[in-house]
Amino acid sequence: MSAQRLRALLAADSPEVVYAPGVWDGLTARLAEQAGFSALCASGFAVAASLGHPDAELYTMSENLDATRRIREASDLPLIADIDTGYGNAVNAARTGRRFRDAGVAAVFMEDQESPKRCPVCVGDPVPLLPAAEAAGKVRAVKDAVGDDVLVIARTDSSGDDALRRAESYAAAGADMIMPVTKTFSTVEEWAACREAVGVPLVATLTASTWTEREFTPRVLREIGVAVALLPTQVLMAATRAMRTALGRLAAGEPPASVSADATPHHEFVDLIGFAEVEAAQREYLPAAAGAGE
């Protein structure tokens, strides 16, 4: 099971922080695995962007699930999936948890915002939150639905003392890990106090251009009790710049051959995307005549 593999990473004798880059489709999943990562994050921010939307829960649960399945098809690394607010109340969230469990994810994280959620990094005002008791009930419902098959990560978008109380109640409701967001706390000491209060490991989001990305070194992460560090937007931002640059050069009339000269060579892409494996399968399973006609 995928969750067992993630637990094994977290339970190593001398555990290093597990870094999980944000991916949104089969290509990014394959590239992350080839880069040497041991886990992946199906980033809701990136999934939304891949559909041409901001991270404001404009896509449906089914669209998110489809993206998750494509990632799982391309890589069997433990996958941590973003299920936003669970797409409704506790009953809806429980069904969402079961669907993502059936898709083979290792863990899910769910926030305590009102639905539809808004990315807290993208808006200036505090985001509207559910009452703490209702949010804890949703955490309990998801954990009851998935059992030990999936790690449940409870995310809080609150701040200060309220965030600590919420984190404690979510852990008591069955959350395996707690995820403060980049705006939840403003100091390393507050993160450490959260870990001590909740009694379960923390998950940190090292979102691009935030203070956690700058200050949460591997040493700091270990000291404050973070077991998993998500890299939700770095790959998306790098890919966006590269694509905008290439498209701008082409639109300006630069010869395509010049643009291609600065990109991944065709033969290298063919190798990384797995053509050799497909050809080997064709030789093994298809009649010689059928293979010759392909």
Q: Is 105 helix (H, G, I), strand (E, B) or coil?
A: coil
**DSSP state, 113?**
B
Confidence of residue 293 (pLDDT cuts 50, 70, 90): low
**DSSP state, 129?**
B
**Alpha-carbon distance 96 to 143, whole Å?**
11
Which is it for the CA torsion 131, 126, 220, 217, positive or negative?
Answer: positive
Confidence of residue 223 (pLDDT cuts 50, 70, 90): very high
Task: Please tell me whether residues 228 and 270 are part of one structural domain.
Answer: no
Closest CA to 205 of 68, 43, 28: 43
Confidence of residue 26 (pLDDT cuts 50, 70, 90): very high
Residue 17 lies in a domain: yes
The yes-or-no verdict on residue 202 having pLDDT over 70 is yes
Task: Please tell me whether residues 35 and 102 are part of one structural domain.
Answer: yes
Closest CA to 176 of 199, 159, 206, 205: 199
- Average predicted confidence (pLDDT) for the chain: 95
**Alpha-carbon distance 255 to 241, whole Å?**
20
Of the CA atoms within 13 Å of residue 187, those in its CB half-sphere come to: 4
Amino acid at 245: T
Task: Please tell me whether residues 163 and 51 are part of one structural domain.
Answer: yes
Residue 145 lies in a domain: yes
Last residue of a domain, one of 212, 232, 252: 232
The reported pLDDT for the residue numbered 200 is 97
Locate 237 and state its tokens: 């931002």
Task: Please tell me whether residues 136 and 273 are part of one structural domain.
Answer: no
Domain of 287 in residue numbering reads as: 264-292
CA 51 to chain centre: 16
Task: Please tell me whether residues 42 and 182 are part of one structural domain.
Answer: yes
The reported pLDDT for the residue numbered 292 is 55
Over residues 30-51, the pLDDT tens digits come to 999 999 999 999 999 999 999 9
The yes-or-no verdict on residue 176 having pLDDT over 80 is yes
The reported pLDDT for the residue numbered 291 is 52
Task: Please tell me whether residues 146 and 270 are part of one structural domain.
Answer: no
Residue 281 lies in a domain: yes
Beta bridge partners of residue 229, listed in sequence order? 19, 204
Closest CA to 184 of 166, 172, 209, 208: 166
**Alpha-carbon distance 268 to 258, whole Å?**
17
- Asked if residues 78 and 39 have their Cβ atoms less than 8 Å apart, the reply is yes
Percentage of the chain lying above the pLDDT 70 cut: 97
- Asked if residues 66 and 22 have their Cβ atoms less than 8 Å apart, the reply is no
Over residues 74-120, the pLDDT tens digits come to 999 999 999 999 999 999 999 999 999 999 999 999 999 999 888 88
The yes-or-no verdict on residue 290 having pLDDT over 70 is no
Residue 284 lies in a domain: yes
- Asked if residues 179 and 226 have their Cβ atoms less than 8 Å apart, the reply is no
The reported pLDDT for the residue numbered 256 is 98
Task: Please tell me whether residues 228 and 271 are part of one structural domain.
Answer: no
- Asked if residues 109 and 203 have their Cβ atoms less than 8 Å apart, the reply is yes
- Overall domain count for the chain: 2
**Alpha-carbon distance 213 to 190, whole Å?**
16
Residue 173 lies in a domain: yes
Q: Is 123 helix (H, G, I), strand (E, B) or coil?
A: coil
CATH number at residue 133: 3.20.20.60
Amino acid at 240: T
